[in-house]
A and B are shown apart, each in its own frame.
Chain A
Amino acid sequence: MTYTALALLGVLLAAILDMLILRTRLLTRRVFWISYAIILFFQLVSNAVLTGFRIVRYSGDFILGSSTPTNQAPPFLGDGRIAFAPFEDLLFGFALVLLTLALWVAWGRAGVQRSPAAGPPRLGPRRSSDS
């Protein structure tokens, strides 16, 4: 299978897990999309470093575009690339983030360490279970 096909499959499976299996429905929540937007920015920066310096190299045979030979730097944008990296990386990253966050919320919903919740400190005297 090509990276393109696998990346699409990964997004599809993560979405099915979120919407139908775990029923966490993060894809319908604002908090998820705001978080993803922040993560996406940093993914583009890290991708640019990892691929621009050619720490990671992608074969053009398994992705769209990417006609640059592997011994040369790919374009920053275009020819299937975004911030040097294959656009498929964005699907890969989205699947990774959605899988992880759906699991995190699902465990919380199941009662596994739902607290201490994020946010400002609780008022009043501290108990050993707090902080």
Chain B
Amino acid sequence: MRTRVYRRWVRLVFSVLPTVVVFTLWDVYAINQGHWSFDANLTTGIILPGQVPLDEVLFFIAIPICAILTLEAVRSATGLPAGDEVGDSQLDPPS
């Protein structure tokens, strides 16, 4: 689909990292409140500080990347704008 997302890895990191932080904090709260729990035999068994399984952090990295790849693939296939297009007159005023 030529999404060229990995070519834009700085922007990718800046977009995924805040999501990882926010949702890992939510995860820490939920795990310690008992909202949800994990099967010890069906996860890696590696538990990070805050009782968060490593699997969860990997999930919070993978899913945002999937979301961005999907958005860029849809944009590539449909040509629909997302508001950050090169040549957008509001973003790139003609000089």
A125 contacts which chain B residues (CB < 8 A)?
A: none
Q: Which of A31, A53, A116 has the most CB of B within 10 A?
A: A31
A96 and B19 form a contact (CB under 8 A): yes
Q: Which of A31, A58, A121 contacts B74 (CB 8 A)?
A: A31
Residues of B at the A interface (CB closer than 8 Å) are: 1-5, 7-8, 10-12, 14-16, 18-19, 22-23, 26, 29-30, 33-39, 42-43, 60, 63-64, 66-68, 70-76, 78, 80-86, 91
B81 and A31 form a contact (CB under 8 A): yes
A99 and B37 form a contact (CB under 8 A): no
B76 contacts which chain A residues (CB < 8 A)?
A: 118-120
Residues of A at the B interface (CB closer than 8 Å) are: 1-3, 6, 10, 24-26, 29-32, 34-35, 38-39, 42, 53-59, 61-63, 70, 93, 96-97, 99-101, 103-109, 111-121, 131
Given A104-B71, A108-B11: A117 in contact with B4 (beta carbons within 8 A): yes
Q: Which of A25, A100, A113 contacts B67 (CB 8 A)?
A: A100
B14 contacts which chain A residues (CB < 8 A)?
A: 103, 107, 112
Complex Cα–Cα for A45 and B53 (A): 21
Q: Which of A62, A100, A105 contacts B34 (CB 8 A)?
A: A62
B34 and A39 form a contact (CB under 8 A): no
A121 contacts which chain B residues (CB < 8 A)?
A: 2
B10 contacts which chain A residues (CB < 8 A)?
A: 112-113
Complex Cα–Cα for A99 and B63 (A): 12
B43 and A55 form a contact (CB under 8 A): yes
A116 and B8 form a contact (CB under 8 A): yes
A10 contacts which chain B residues (CB < 8 A)?
A: 26
B2 and A105 form a contact (CB under 8 A): no
